[in-house]
Every structure is written in C-alpha cells, then in structure tokens.
Structure 1
Amino acid sequence: MATSENEKKMKILCLHGFRTSGSFLQRQISKWDPSIFSQFDLDFPDGVFPARGKSEIEGIFPPPYFEWFQFDKDFTEYTNLEECISYLCEYITTRGPFDGFLGFSQGATLSALLLGYQAQGKVLKDHPPFKLFVSVSGSKFRDPSICDVAYKDTIKVKSVHFIGAKDWLKEPSEDLATAFDSPLIIRHPQGHTVPRLVFHVATQMRQPRSSYVLGPQKSSVTITKF
C-alpha cells in the first residue's frame, strides 16, 4: 500500500558546521533517540569548499572537512557566500523538494538566511515554502545589506532553537530566534555542541510558544518547562 500524505516523512536538508562535514553532523545528531528520526528523511551534503584551515575536529573525526563560505573575524564580510547560495539552491531544486532545514553553527546560520531570502522572493521562488527549521548554535548574518532583506519580516516557519548556556554563540543564537514567528527555544547547559535529545523531548518540541531547559540526568537528558 502506498504511503499516505499524512504518513510521509518530512525531507530535511542538514547543513553542517564550519570546517566539518555532512558525515560529522550525522554523527553529532546520532546521540539523539533513534525513534526521533522515524519522522524524517535526512540529507547530509558536504560544504561547497574544502576547509582552508585547521578544523577543530581534527583527531576527533576523520577528514575531509568542508566549509560553506568564508568570513572575517567580525563576521561582517563574507567570501564565496553568493556561490554557496547558488550551489544550495541548485541542490535543493534538483534533490528536493525539501520540507525543512536542520543546521549546526554555520549550517544553521546559512539555513536561516535561505528561509528569509525565500520569504522575500529572493531565492527558490518555485520551491514550496519550507515548514520546519531546527537550529543548533545558529546566528544571524551581520552585514546590513543582508539583514535588511533576510530578516526584514518575521520568518513564518516553525522553528526550534537549541541554545547552550556555555556556547560562545549563545547571544547570537538568542537573536536568531527573534527572527522567527513563535520560536521554540530549548536551552541546555553545554557549550558549542549538539546536546543529547530523547524521544519525549522531541514530542514536547511540537508544542508552540514554549521555552524549555535541558539538563543531564544520569546518561540522558530531561526536559522541564519554565
């Protein structure tokens, strides 16, 4: 029997962090309860460009490593960003349609940009609107010429934002969440990483207009509303 529309898995494009890889992001979220993934068809592409410097995961996870674009120390000037956007739009068009994005760090920042650009009619005009965005340690771009377009209006995509108490991108992650309509914010006590996630947490993630705190309990993660 064919799968009904209601049972069809959501197809999610998963964009990795700076100087890592699609395979590494796949490993990062492998700490989540496997039952979570039954709802999704996940695609993990590698970044457009080979890493142009040392990767923080050297010795932890094997190469090759990739980056989506390059940037200056203030994250206000970007190199190869337009090439990256063109590549991803082509990837989405030929491999999609996709229902949403999951991104870590640079991948989350880039995903949010594409969502904002699509909402403003700048990219992916013929692609169906995205339905879901999961951001782990994401942030906004800082170039005003980008911000004035991508974040001009509230992005009306269901979004989940993982924000770590010790993450060096904690405040930028908070700021990114404000760009979305009724974001679900999940706070955890760790740093710049993907926290553990168990199934009952994912179930509660579906609740709108909520903020949660994740805390360790034995080897798992618990969730309490506050």
Structure 2
Amino acid sequence: MESLETPKKPRILCLHGGVSNATLFKEELSIWPDYVLEKMDLVFINGPFPAYRDGIIVDEHFEWYAKDDETYGNFEEGIAYIEDCMVKLGPFDGVLGKSQGGIVTGLLPGLQEHSVYLTKVPKIEHVVIISGAKLGGRTFPGPKIAETAFSSPINIPSLHIFGENDFARETAPELAEAYVDPLVIYHHGGHEVPKLGIVFIFIF
C-alpha cells in the first residue's frame, strides 16, 4: 500500500515595511488565523539598509531602499540582496510584502520575467501585496528598471490588500492594474495588516 505524502506548503519570502524588521512583520501577520498561516511556510528577512527617521538611524530597523533618495541609488543593490537571500534560503514559491516591502514585491515578478534580476531562482508563482504602490507609476517616480518590470502585464496570481483609511489607497490600485486578473481586498482599516481568512485558498 502506497503511503500518502503530506502536500508541500508553499514557501513564501516575507518583506517588511520601511523602518521595520522581520520580527515586527511576523508579529503583524500573527493576527491572521492559524488555518491561514498553517497553509504557508513563511520566511522573514531584514532589509539590507539601516532605517532613518529625522536623519537618525533607528536601531534594529531596516529598509529595502533609501526612500528619501530620489535617484534610487541603492535600489538595485537591494534587489540583488533579495535575490541572494532567495538563493540561500529558498527555493521560494511566492513573495509577500507590506508597504515598502510591498512596493518591492510588486516589481520582482516583472524583473524576473524580463531577466533583469532573480535569474538564479525559480519562477515566482504568486505574490501578496499589502498597502503597496507602483514604483515608477503616476505617483511614485522610480528607477529605470521599474519601467522594464512593468513594461508588460504580469501574469501570475496576485492578492492586493489595502484599507479605506490607508494612505496607500490612492496608489495601491495602480499596482494591482499592472497584474492580470488581480484579486483585491479593500478593508475598513488603515495602513496595516488586516484580519483575513479563507480568501487565501484562492491564491495558494
């Protein structure tokens, strides 16, 4: 009699928001019910750059790129860092990001599709973006590689989450529009991780 193997959980790379860290993001996501979290193998990493507030470094807090640097001089360095983490800690099936981490998450599949970055790792199969925005869109200028990432519609399952009191509510839809058939959840909160449930069945 053949043994039945336990289905493999999708392994998800988690990218925190700006001026935050992996531990805080894990705590934010802990409000989701166990039957959702148990469906995924979540891996949290810190951003590569120290975070600043009012010109002062915030201890043990990080960013994925310098958001106050209009030249985005370290943006590609941050993407390369993420790719290295994916090589070392993967393979990964998908990426989940919030705020600044969501902005970066939104770019990754397009960069991979056009062989700009993430050429050393398996194809990203799906993304979850919480309070993210389209870098290089109507509101946020971006590095040149953002144009490449969004030069064609991104055709993978995507879940986009933002709130009615979220300062990202004006820009998050533009990122969703960059994907083919995005699933969008609009909640009543703000710039936060909302409580979610069964909807994850539709993407994972």
Instruction: Tell whether the structures are fold-level matches, with TM greater than 0.5.
Output: yes
The AA in structure 2 aligned to 1:166 is N
Q: Is 2:43 the counterpart of 1:32?
A: no
Unaligned runs of 5+ in 2: 137-141
Contact persistence 1:76–1:141 (CA under 8 A): no
What is the TM-score normalised by the length of structure 1?
A: 0.79
Aligned structure 1 segments of 4 or more residues deviating by more than 4 angstroms: none
**What CA deviation, in whole Å up to 9, does each residue of 1:148-198 have, x standing for no partner?**
201001111110000211111112100000011100000101111111113
SS in 1 for 2:109: helix
Percent of matched pairs sharing the same residue:
36
Task: Give the aligned partner of residue 211 of structure 1.
Answer: none
Give the structure, 1 or 2, with the largest relative contact order (CA under 8 Å, sep 6 or more): 2
Q: Is residue 92 of structure 1 aligned with residue 95 of structure 2? A: no
- 2:200 aligns with one of 191, 202, 207: 202
Alpha-carbon displacement from aligned partner over 1:55-75 (angstroms, at most 9, x marks no partner): xxx9xxxx5211111023xx8
Aligned-partner residue type, residue 189 of structure 1: H
Matched, 1:16 2:11: no
Residue type of the partner of 1:202?
Answer: F
> 1:219 — aligned with what?
none
Unpaired runs of 5+ residues, structure 1, are 208-226
Q: 2:97 aligns with which of 103, 115, 131?
A: 103
Counterpart amino acid of residue 52 in structure 2: R
- 2:61 aligned with 1:65, yes or no? yes
One-letter identity of the residue aligned with 2:97: G
* Paired residues for 1:82-161 under 5 Å: 82-142=76-136, 143=142, 145-161=144-160
Superposed CA deviations along residues 90-116 of structure 1, whole A, max 9, x for unmatched, are 111121110000100000111111111
Superposition pairs of residues 188-199 of structure 1, within 5 angstroms: 188-198=187-197
1:176 aligned residue: 175
Once the 2 structures are TM-superposed, how far is the Cα of residue 206 of structure 1 from its aligned partner?
Answer: 4.2
Q: Distance in 2 between matches of 1:126 and 1:78?
A: 23
Residue 24 of structure 1 aligns to a residue whose secondary structure is: helix
Contact 2:72–2:143 (8 Å) recurs in 1: no
Distance (Å, rounded) in 2 between the aligned partners of 1:97 and 1:140: 26
Do the aligned residues in 2 keep the contact of 1:71 with 1:77 (CA within 8 Å)?
no
Q: 1:141 aligns to what SS in structure 2?
A: coil
Q: Which one-letter code corresponds to 1:19 in the other structure?
A: V
Bigger shift: residues 137-146 or 92-101:
137-146
Q: Is the 8 A contact 1:107 1:138 kept in 2?
A: yes
